[in-house]
Structure 1
Amino acid sequence: MGVWQLLLVGLVMVLGLVGVLVPGVPGRWLVWAAMLWWSLHELSPAAWVLLVASTALLLVDQVVVWLLPPRRLRGTGITRRMAVFAGLGAVVGFVVLPVVGAIPGFIGGIYGTERLRLGGHGQAAASTREVMRAAGTSVLVELFACLVVAGAWLVAVLWT
């Protein structure tokens, strides 16, 4: 696979990760489609194993998100800025502490946004808990699964 195709696959994965944070964008499916495209062109046993594992992980992720309580976005104060900072926090956490760091990074991004908006620790912590109850958990679960898939792809590309 050429460098340009690898860059395009990586770009689609990044768009999928951003899409997880934007309502109405099929982020999970963009990440999976990028993995499918790469696997169909790579034609190695590792690529097929990653495709099967990614498919299974993303299907389990979808079931888990369906089982979580429905999102209650009204009245929680969730903004685009908060979603951006939460997503950036998850990505930074994922890089600093591979895989596991995405969770505290996501929550830290929400807390940081609320701390700037509200000014105090107590109010920011209470608001962060409310946001995580309302919508953060389902977004976090989906983002975490997509980060694992993208991270596995990146390791496979760098390994070969």
Structure 2
Amino acid sequence: MNQDKIAERIVADTLDAIIYCDRSGTIELWNAGAERIFGWTPAEAVGQNLDIIIPEKHRDVHWKGWERVMETGETKYGADPLAVPGLHKDGSTMSLEFSIMMLHDDAGRIEGIAAILRDVSKRWKREKELRARVRELESQKP
């Protein structure tokens, strides 16, 4: 199997969401993992704005950061995964971690951003419960 076919299968079949958006934030690639996590089919998501997965109260901050990255080509996060809330098609929210990669044209201008996202809601909930339990136990010390 050639490398292009392998890469195509990895993107298509991975359980993590792989999304690519152009400079305007319009979704151009939406894999099966994105459908599994967010509930939107590729036919529903491609051509839509990223707002379909960003909770409304976080959109202003997201788009300000997006514009800054498009203007400067720099992100303050580097290789560290980002932790943000996400929005499912049914309106429920989730905790996400993701990394991004900026794609540049031949002149070095950002063409768009690819992201690999993972739903970490279960882990976030467990950690929150553990922190609460630790606080409870610490408050019981003599």
TM-score range, shorter chain: under 0.3
**Between Structure 1 and Structure 2, which shows a larger proportion of strand residues?**
2
Q: Which of structures 1 and 2 has the bigger CA Rg? A: 2
TM-score after normalising by structure 1: 0.26
TM value normalised by structure 2: 0.28
Tell me which of the two structures has the higher relative contact order, counting C-alpha pairs closer than 8 angstroms and 6 or more residues apart. 1
Larger proportion of helix:
1
